[in-house]
Structure 1
Amino acid sequence: MGEKMRPIVAVTMGDPAGNGPEITVKALSDPALYERCRPIVVGDAKMIEQAKGFVNHPEIEVNPVSDVADAKFRAGTIDVYHLDLIEDVASFKLGEVSAEGGNAAFQSVRRTIELAMEGKVDATVTNALNKEAMNLALAPQGMHFDGHTEIYATYTGTKKYSMMLAHHDFRVVHVSTHCSLREACDRVKTPRVLEVIRLGWQACRDLGIESPRVAVAGLNPHAGEHGLFGTEEVDEITPAIELARAEGIDAVGPCPPDSVFSEMHGGWYDIVVCMYHDQGHIPTKTLGFVFDREAGSWKAVEGVNVTLGLPIIRTSVDHGTGFALAGKGTANALSLVNAIDYALRMARGKE
């Protein structure tokens, strides 16, 4: 990508029964976004057209295309790489789990990955899909995916990958994600911890941080207290940190999980390696998801999900499909805007 060329960013529609189409229209209705990139939605143009009415943007033109080269990439127009996925928009039920909605979300993601692997787009950003709906659609084909991360890994042939969550400069990366807590403890092994330290360090480098500082959280209370509350820190985590440091990575730990996130928030570290799903998700979402008690509504639902280790760029909103909000036009698009901007940062870092 040349310095003056705005990256092409493919944005998936998400599950059409959720608020993905509405969030997409809101985000792409901002002319300033087109000064930073050339966005194209991958999904069903009919659902994007419907969403215009929900969010009161009748002036927006929806431009269905079958080739990225045919996109207009101009403010006031939402280009949609059209996949005819919803048979009848009028009868399609919003806010409900369905195989049709799950299939639409999955096909949008798969085509987006293909476009990136073919070099037709520079980065990909995903709206939320419903895992139950998706697997309802995939079951007859003998297929199953836990979520976006596994779909991307499969269709890019990636073996070593991890999930990173970010709220501005607050970043966490995970040794394990979608498995039971009991299984997560068993997955804390030196090779995997080292692998995730490397992925987190490289992600920070891709974001333009010259010398990333990587904190590695412990698994047990107080990071095990030298074996008093568990031996994973001594047996598995510390050896990984020592190997990473031998490679020139500024990694510290094992750090007590109850304080390391406050330290990162204070600027001590650029990223924290977390041992399991909730260890990283809870602090990140506590910062990014802000509920206004007096107004009785969400003031902010922010956060970006990034899949590390892929040959292509993938970021995502860090919230669900919002079935309860579908069709109301009230969903906040800030998380999608942030996800697009994070993708652009990573695209610039790879130039």
Structure 2
Amino acid sequence: MTKKPRLAVLLGDPAGVGPEMGVKLLARAENRDAAELLLIAPPSVLAAGEKIAGTKLDVIALRPGDPLRFEAGRITHLVQPEPAGFAKLGECSVPAGQAVLQALTVATELAKHGAVQGILFAPLNKHSLRLAGMDEEDELRFMQQRFEVPGFTCEFNITDQLWTSRVTSHVPLREVADLITQESVGEAVHIIDKALRSAGIARPRIAVSGLNPHAGDGGSIGLEEIEVIAPAVERLKRDGLDASGPWSPDTVFIAARRGDFDAVVSMYHDQGQIAMKLMGFERGVTLHGGLPVPVATSASGSAFDIAGKGIARIDGLQHAFDLCVQIAARA
């Protein structure tokens, strides 16, 4: 692309810190210079975020159906309908979930038609989304359905230079082992390899975690490593990927933090998330892999406990913004 990428920006769950974080991010002149920014939000959610953040944004207000237009240094605000009800700070609710689902739907439609090249959203709350009627496992699968993307998608979590993907995500632990197959392991590695290349890493070094303690300890603590994960890694090597493992889950992140790998593929959500959040919760980024445009957010959640206090940090959301701009500009 020869011009700035255009990003859709969403303010997240109205009952959490999302609106405050989104306004703080948009208030930074360097961010408004880095991309054309299309804010998708109801007026009340924007106003609440401005009040908590203590700043007023300079916006061009458009109604749905108006031609999109942008001006240097300003934010275009695509005004959304107000949610049917009040989203009380610090509480999950149907109105809060409805506001987020509406914004996600509009953003994916715009991306499908090429009107935006990336989507950035402030923290949302999955329980509010489900209260509002989301049937999918999470917001990634919700967007996957609207993008009509078949096959494997995955959340990437990024802290500084280290990336992770996972074979299973928001599913009960009792279901995890049955979902670990050679095909699912291969898909999780291929998708993060492709994403790292799109972010500028020519040949990503990818560690694949085991499932069981000590990676099965030679078969004495489970056979998944021998029967499933190791054969999947060998197949990946034959495909030309720089993949290795299965590594013991309790030590692989020590090597990764040391710089031995660009990414770790874990078998389930907490196996990777706990390690990554300990290494840099405030700086962490979540990138949704497998979608046609980059979709990013901070790794931190909606933080109901500090909602409305004006103290939410935006380090992670800033890193998410920077990564989204970088990938969108390379597309």
State TM-score, norm by structure 1.
0.89
Corresponding position of 1:34: 32
Select which of 205, 208, 224 maps to 1:232: 224
Q: Does the 8 Å contact 1:201/1:212 carry over to 2?
A: yes
Q: CA deviation at 1:69?
A: 4.9
1:336 maps to a residue whose letter is: L
Corresponding position of 1:129: 124
2:83 maps to a residue whose letter is: I
> What is the CA–CA distance in structure 2 between the aligned matches of 1:74 and 1:96, rounded to whole Å?
37
Corresponding position of 1:297: none
Structure 1: unaligned runs, 5 residues or longer: 290-300
Corresponding position of 2:61: 64
1:112 maps to a residue whose letter is: A
Could you list the per-position Cα deviations for residues 96-139 of structure 1 after superposition, in whole angstroms to 9, with x for gaps in the alignment? 2221111001111111111111100011112222222222221x
Q: 3-state SS of the aligned residue for 2:132?
A: helix
State TM-score, norm by structure 2.
0.94
1:104 maps to a residue whose letter is: A
> What is the CA–CA distance in structure 1 between the aligned matches of 2:66 and 2:301, rounded to whole Å?
28
2:175 maps to a residue whose letter is: E
Q: CA deviation at 1:73?
A: 4.5
Corresponding position of 2:104: 109
Pairs aligned (count): 329
Structure 2: unaligned runs, 5 residues or longer: none
| 1:78 corresponds to 2:61 | no
| 1:197 corresponds to 2:189 | yes
Corresponding position of 1:288: 280
| 1:320 corresponds to 2:301 | yes
Corresponding position of 2:93: 98
2:308 maps to a residue whose letter is: G
Q: Does the 8 Å contact 1:14/1:21 carry over to 2?
A: yes
RMSD of aligned alpha carbons:
1.7
| 1:150 corresponds to 2:145 | no
Q: CA deviation at 1:13?
A: 1.7
> What is the CA–CA distance in structure 2 between the aligned matches of 1:323 and 1:10, rounded to whole Å?
24
Q: CA deviation at 1:21?
A: 1.0
Change (3 A) 1:178 1:92: closer
Change (3 A) 1:256 1:68: farther
Q: 3-state SS of the aligned residue for 2:163?
A: strand
Q: 3-state SS of the aligned residue for 1:39?
A: strand
Q: 3-state SS of the aligned residue for 1:32?
A: helix
Corresponding position of 2:14: 16
Q: CA deviation at 1:43?
A: 1.5
Change (3 A) 1:278 1:7: same
| 1:49 corresponds to 2:40 | no
Q: Does the 8 Å contact 2:14/2:87 carry over to 1?
A: no
1:86 maps to a residue whose letter is: P
Q: 3-state SS of the aligned residue for 2:251?
A: helix
Q: CA deviation at 1:229?
A: 1.4
After superposing on structure 2, the runs of 4+ consecutive aligned residues of structure 1 that deviate more than 4 Å are none
Q: Does the 8 Å contact 1:64/1:80 carry over to 2?
A: yes
Q: CA deviation at 1:233?
A: 0.5
Q: Does the 8 Å contact 2:98/2:132 carry over to 1?
A: yes
Could you list the per-position Cα deviations for residues 159-197 of structure 1 after superposition, in whole angstroms to 9, with x for gaps in the alignment? 211111001211110000111112112211101001111
Q: Does the 8 Å contact 2:83/2:98 carry over to 1?
A: no
> What is the CA–CA distance in structure 2 between the aligned matches of 1:128 and 1:179, rounded to whole Å?
20
Q: Percent identity?
A: 32
